[in-house]
Amino acid sequence: MNRKKGDKGFESPRPYKLTHQVVCINNINFQRKSVVGYVELTIFPTVANLNRIKLNSKQCRIYRVRVNDLEAAFIYNDPTLEVCHHESKQRNLNYFSNAYAAAVSAVDPDAGNGELCIKVPSELWKHVDELKVLKVHINFSLDQPKGGLHFVVPNMEGSMAERGAHVFSCGYQNSTRFWFPCVDSYSELCTWKLEYTVDAAMVAVSNGDLVETVYTHDMRKKTFHYMLTIPTAASNISLAIGPFEILVDPYMHEVTHFCLPQLLPLLKHTTSYLHEVFEFYEEILTCRYPYSCFKTVFIDEAYVEVAAYASMSIFSTNLLHSAMIIDETPLTRRCLAQALAQQFFGCFISRMSWSDEWVLKGISGYIYGLWMKKTFGVNEYRHWIKQELDQIVAYELKTGGVLLHPIFGGGKEKDNPASHLHFSIKHPHTLSWEYYTMFQCKAHLVMRLIENRISMEFMLQVFNKLLSLASTASSQKFQSHMWSQMLVSTSGFLKSISNVSGKDIQPLIKQWVDQSGVVKFYGSFAFNRKRNVLELEIKQDYTSPGTQKYVGPLKVTVQELDGSFNHTLQIEENSLKHDIPCHSKSRRNKKKKIPLMNGEEVDMDLSAMDADSPLLWIRIDPDMSVLRKVEFEQSDFMWQYQLRYERDVVAQEEAILALEKFPTPASRLALTDILEQEQCFYRVRMLACFCLAKIANSMVSTWTGPPAMKSLFTRMFCCKTCPNIVKTNNFMNFQSYFLQKTMPVAMALLRDVHNLCPKEVLMFILDLIKYNDNRKNKFSDNYYRAELIDALANSVTPAVSVNNEVRTLDNLNPDVRLILEEITRFLNMEKLLPSYRHTITVSCLKAIRVLQKNGHVPSDPALFKSYAEYGHFIDVRIAALEAVVDYTKVDRSYEELQWLLTMVQNDPVPYIRHKILDMLTKNPPFTKNMESPLCNEALVDQLWKLMNSGTSHDWRLRCGAVDLYFTLFGLSRPSCLPLPELGLVLNLKEKKAVLNPTIIPESVASNQEPVNSTNNHGQSVGFQNTFSNSQEEEEIDMDTVHDSQAFIYHHLNMLERPSTPGTSKEQSSGEMNMHPVSAAPLSVFSKESNSSKHSDHHHHHHHEHKKKKKKHKHKHKHKHKHDNKEKEKDPFAFSNSPASARSIRSPSLSD
């Protein structure tokens, strides 16, 4: 990545410029899950001697390639299919991660690489030298794709349309190469013509304008013709085909919504709000929506809830809801708003390189935040910011930092900015999914920090500038150099900021963007009465992983008797103490009201205060303008004042969390008061419920009166005449709805002196369930009922077990019997009257697992496994799988672990596969350094295989497997593997003795190769696999006669080859796919000049041997040069391939 990001703008890593691409899919077979089509790329060479064109393509079976109507030879090589070749005993993650990063690099379009290499026919060389246009035409097909394109085909009677079968593109980051050959980069823009021929009962939704729809001659199919005239990256191309119901947005006729059959009423309701989001973004950006149309498609088995592509977004169908559903509504609207924000930044404006991703994610996340503020209010917005901040802080402290703008120097290991991580952050495709989520979170928080610095007005001006530049550029035809204006880079963005605002934000960028880590403050204070000064001490921890040192301004707000005062402290290297003069004398003037920050004046009961001090409370960095964690010490009464009187919801939430440590009657009173205050933000009140439960438990011996919150709940939600009966449901007031839902859940956490849930509380919850009556309610009560079940689960405490007796019905605790009764009824009623998103089933499954875990019910995964099967609603499956994962851990069950891992490999739903790995990582059956019967060699091999080759069709899944491997075994060699027999390995060829590489984590695999030789294979049993491989290759390598034999052999093999090389098991590891023109291989063979044939071939071998004997490598290179003196500028060495990169970088012990 030697790209310069100067003022000149973008420099393409490719020796050509793509201007236009045609994608034509002629045939889609839902039964066979296959796709047939062609692509045609119009490219302009930018260098005279362009003789090879590298494109991205995965999974596709390529039949034929023509360049300007001339047959062209091509080679297919994808090192990511199998990251580490040959059955090495190397099983450490360090080794794998390096190899994986190198493999991804080797095909990275941003480095000018690709899996598919097309040789420009020699007849065109002259043409190319004149830099004239080339048209690359590729016929391809896809058979049962495992990634990139997802087929949903319900197993029932009827035509595909009647069954609701559909297909859509999906994937993590640039994954378009999975379904058609392209330059799968966000920085290679071109215009598009897209054609899809589908069954007449289906609709094909894709990017750009639908120009026309034409029947085929037999009138049984239709062809959808799309034109996308705005230059767009291939990675932003998408497709959804299915028997969709079509809804034209009644407010904006250019916007069309699509959903699966029968869901139209839900679609109408769900999208009825979208126009307001449009209006909002267009207004703040003072810019029209960039595309001439917008489409939303709601599909089943979605890869992610929201995926944004050029002029269309693909959503999960599970976001659809009716007007009766409360809880899902804000969530779905947030998804819609997110998708739309990404239309501007992410789709229309694309990124120059991966290291600029943070700008796009930051801006789209930031404007989405502005929309949140406008739609849900400042409280919700601040709460969200706090939540995101807490999340990123926790993640960075746990893992050691998230770097927004990774810049990579000379490729030395030492420079690796992410050495604390078990994966490379150099590519999106090597990132752990959790890291990427946190990356996005940090990006928008940093944008907010920039806003704090330069003001929102300037911020929006910058966005507007970026958009107008892009929009001017997009209307330019074929002036491809202009199109790079549509790409955003970090430097360009920063330059724009400094131009617009005139401010230097470099320190801010350096701190948060070029550097990872967050700040950890510890604060405490003392009041000096003599000097009337507040002595504030602020310490930092910048040595722990994930932290960094903060130097600069820090705002502190002090609420005194006389008012609230802001102070800006300068945090410097050595100064810990800061003196802040106080305004008020400690004498208090009782008659006066106390002015707050917002100008409000309130009466306070000041009796709790320290008589000597005028301080009510102190806040550090109240505006969250540093990415930090603050641990601040102040006395309990100060937190109580802060909770009662500070108007900022974040301060209130902080106070609630702090009060957990002060279980006193005063804290109880403050929390109860907040709970009752209707003006108080509902989330604060919800949080107060849980804090109150904790305090009540700590105070259990001195607690007086009924259980916490009971009388409050009775007063708020029960009938006046009969306080034991809850009112019939009326959820018109959402604030009280959320409180009504939460209070029982929190109450169920109450414990008596025996650490049991008080009988009174359990009966209270059971009564709530019994008297629940939703007949007169406008809204569904499914979430409420689900939370009542959650409450039941919360009330469960561990069973008192005598001598590990077997759990049977006879010795069932009577309280548990009551709970089980309810759960049984609820779960069974779900079969007759299912609730929205089956929330009740989900809660029941969770509750059953709690009962199992606490020893009331025999621990058994059978029930969960049945609910986890394909065919249940996804939420139910995940809840069930979570229980199985937990069971696997608690019962150390090898069988269940295997069952889960089988599902990871075979389940039809990509999200489920991902989620299982994710849940296993978060709740692992064991971790490294832990003795476990599950930790054995077979498991190591299995997981290794999974991440090495079993997940090559899904970046996210592979990274998930890496995460799991890391959690289970750590970075180095798993401890359960037997020690290698030999400490030393004799290298016969080089006559050296080296340490056995299998016990040196950092060493290079190639070291073990020298042991092998064709003459003495069988010497070591462990290496047999490698042997057979190398032997075969050895033979091919012999001489030209053998060469051509092998070549033909390959050709013949090719015809029977499965289309997805990565998924085929028989495929030998080092094998490479050289696809000749399948139509007439021999004729082409003869047509080709001898030299070029050889070069292809040699290249092929060269690659296979790159990590083998150096001697061979050398020989190849030599031959190569010899054969292609004139034309070969690039010796076509895959210098970026995993092995070579590795051998360059890491010091080999044998050298």
Strands 487-488 and 350-351: parallel
To another protein, the closest distance from the beta carbon of 824 in angstroms equals 5
CB of residue 861 to another protein, shortest distance in Å: 12
Q: Does 796 interact with another protein (rule: CB under 8 A)?
A: no
213 near another protein, judged by CB under 8 A: yes
CA dihedral sign, ordered 64, 69, 71, 74: negative
Nearer to another protein, 875 or 1032 (CB): 875
| Lookup: tokens for 794 | 């919360």
Q: Indicate the residue among 262 and 479 with the shorter CB distance to another protein.
A: 262
Tell me the three state secondary structure of residue 1005.
Answer: helix
Choice between 870 and 1049, CB closer to another protein = 870
Q: Which of 54, 66, 177, 222 binds another protein (CB under 8 A)?
A: 222
Residue 136 corresponds to which tokens in the numbers above? 């690359």
Per rule CB under 8 A, is residue 162 in the interface with another protein?
no
Under rule CB under 8 A, residue 838 binds another protein: yes
Window 163-192: residues binding another protein (CB under 8 A): 163-164
Find the shortest distance in angstroms from Cβ 232 to another protein. 18
- H/E element holding 984? strand 984-987
Angle of helix 937-945 versus helix 894-906 axis, rounded to 10: 10
- Residues 472-511 within binding reach of another protein (CB under 8 A): none
Which among 213-221, 345-353, 379-387, 535-543 is the span making contact with another protein, rule CB under 8 A?
A: 213-221
Rounded to a whole number of angstroms, the minimum distance from the CB of residue 105 to another protein is 40
Measured between alpha carbons, how far is 818 from 809 in angstroms, rounded to an integer?
12
d(CA 1041, CA 849): 67
Minimum CB separation from another protein for residue 715, in Å? 17
For another protein, the binding residues in 797-826 under the rule CB under 8 A are: 807-809, 820-821, 824-825
- Cβ within 8 Å of residue 388, ≥6 positions away: 441, 444, 445
Determine the distance from the C-alpha atom of residue 452 to the mean position of all C-alpha atoms in its chain, rounded to a whole number.
27
Query: What is the C-alpha separation between 56 and 116, in angstroms, rounded?
Result: 6
**Residue 773 binds another protein, judged by CB under 8 A:** yes
Question: What is the DSSP pairing of strand 116-119 with strand 52-55?
Answer: antiparallel
In whole angstroms, the minimum distance from the beta carbon of 227 to another protein comes to: 11
- Position among 69, 126, 156, 1039 found at the interface with another protein (CB under 8 A): 156
**Closest distance to another protein from the beta carbon of 1076 (Å):** 26
Q: Identify residues 533-552 at the interface with another protein (CB under 8 A).
A: none
Among 778, 1111, 1121, 1145, binds another protein (CB under 8 A): 778
Instruction: Tell me the β-bridge partners of 537.
Output: 524, 577
Interface positions, 308-347, toward another protein (CB under 8 A): 317-318, 320-324
Among 42, 272, 972, 1091, indicate the residue that binds another protein (CB under 8 A). Answer: 272
Residue 279 interacts with another protein (CB under 8 A)?
yes
Shortest Cβ 222–another protein spacing (Å):
6
Q: Least distance (Å) from another protein to the CB of residue 113? A: 38
User: Among residues 289 and 737, whose Cβ is nearest to another protein?
Assistant: 289
Cβ-based nearer residue to another protein, 126 or 776: 776
Please tell me the count of residues contacting another protein according to CB under 8 A.
Answer: 92
Q: Which is nearer to another protein, 330 or 1131 (CB)?
A: 330
What's the min distance (Å) between Cβ of 319 and another protein? 9
Q: Which residue's CB is nearer to another protein, number 261 or number 1131? A: 261
Question: Which CB sits closer to another protein, 260 or 597?
Answer: 260
- Interacting residues with another protein between 752 and 771 (CB under 8 A): 770-771
Cβ neighbour number for residue 35 with a 10 Å cutoff = 25
End-to-end CA distance of the chain: 28
What CA–CA distance (Å, rounded) separates 748 from 761?
A: 7
Query: How far is the CA of 749 from the CAs of 435, 697, 783, in angstroms?
Result: 33, 8, 19
> From the CB of 318, what's the least distance to another protein, in Å?
6
Q: How is residue 634 written in tokens?
A: 């102040």
- Tell which positions 32-71 bind another protein, by CB under 8 A: none
Neighbouring CB atoms inside 10 A of 566's CB total: 12
For another protein, which residue of 260, 326, 630, 761 counts as binding (CB under 8 A)?
260
**What does residue 295 show for φ and ψ, rounded to 5 degrees?**
-130, 140
Rule CB under 8 A: choose which of 1, 22, 131, 210 binds another protein: 210
Contact stretch for another protein (CB under 8 A) within 138-146, 209-217, 331-339, 923-931: 209-217
Say if CB 187 and CB 10 are below 8 A apart: yes
Please provide residue 507's backbone torsions phi and psi, each rounded to the nearest 5 degrees.
-60, -40
Pick the piece of the chain touching another protein (CB under 8 A) from 45-53, 258-266, 338-346, 795-803. 258-266
Nearer to another protein, 715 or 825 (CB): 825
Q: Are strands 255-259 and 294-299 parallel, antiparallel or unpaired?
A: parallel
The interface with another protein within residues 861-920 (CB under 8 A) comprises 862-863, 866-867, 869-875
Specify burial of residue 786 (Cβ count, 10 A radius: 0-12, 13-18, 19+): buried
CB nearer another protein, residue 74 or residue 294:
294
Q: Which of residues 280-299 bind another protein (CB under 8 A)?
A: 282, 288-289, 293
The secondary structure of residue 718, as a DSSP letter, is: B
Helix or strand (DSSP H, E) at 876: helix 874-890
Handedness of CA 783, 786, 788, 793 (dihedral sign): negative
Sole binder of another protein in the list 194, 571, 848, 961 (CB under 8 A) = 848
Using CB under 8 A as the criterion, what x/- string covers residues 688-727 for binding another protein? -------------------------------x-xx--x--
Q: Which of 25, 120, 198, 203 binds another protein (CB under 8 A)?
A: 203
C-alpha 62/C-alpha 75 separation (Å) is: 10
Kindly state the smallest distance separating residue 275's Cβ from another protein, in Å: 6
Query: What distance lies between CA 717 and its chain's CA centroid?
Result: 40
Q: Output phi, psi for 104, to 5 deg.
A: -65, -40
Minimum distance from residue 302 beta carbon to another protein (Å): 10
Helices (H), 926-1039: 937-945, 955-969, 1024-1036
Q: Quick one: 176 or 332, whose CB is closer to another protein?
A: 332
Residue written as token pair 């050398």? 1114
Distance CA 37, CA 151 (A): 17
Cα dihedral 806, 811, 816, 819 sign: positive
Closest approach of another protein to the CB of residue 914, in Å: 18
Minimum CB distance to another protein smaller for 873 or for 1085 = 873
526 contacts another protein (rule: CB under 8 A)? no
Q: How far is the CB of 37 from another protein (least distance, A)?
A: 18
Q: How near is the Cβ of 335 to another protein at its closest, in Å?
A: 15
Sequence-distant (≥ 6) Cβ neighbours of residue 277 within 8 angstroms: 333, 336, 337, 340, 371
Q: H-type helices in 251-356, by residue range?
A: 264-271, 274-285, 328-344
- In this complex, which beta carbon is closest to another protein, that of residue 183 or of residue 203? 203
In a 10 Å sphere around its CB, with 0-12 CB exposed, 13-18 middle and 19+ buried, how is residue 753 labelled? exposed
Closest to another protein by CB, 873 or 894: 873
Q: What is the dihedral of CA 146, 152, 158, 161, to 10 degrees?
A: -110
Least spacing, CB of residue 68 vs another protein, in Å: 20
Query: Which residues within the stretch 228-257 sit at the binding site for another protein (CB under 8 A)?
Result: 246-248, 250-256
Torsion angle, alpha carbons of 62, 63, 67, 73, to 10: 80
The three-state secondary structure class of 628 is: strand
Q: How far is the CB of 440 from another protein (least distance, A)?
A: 27
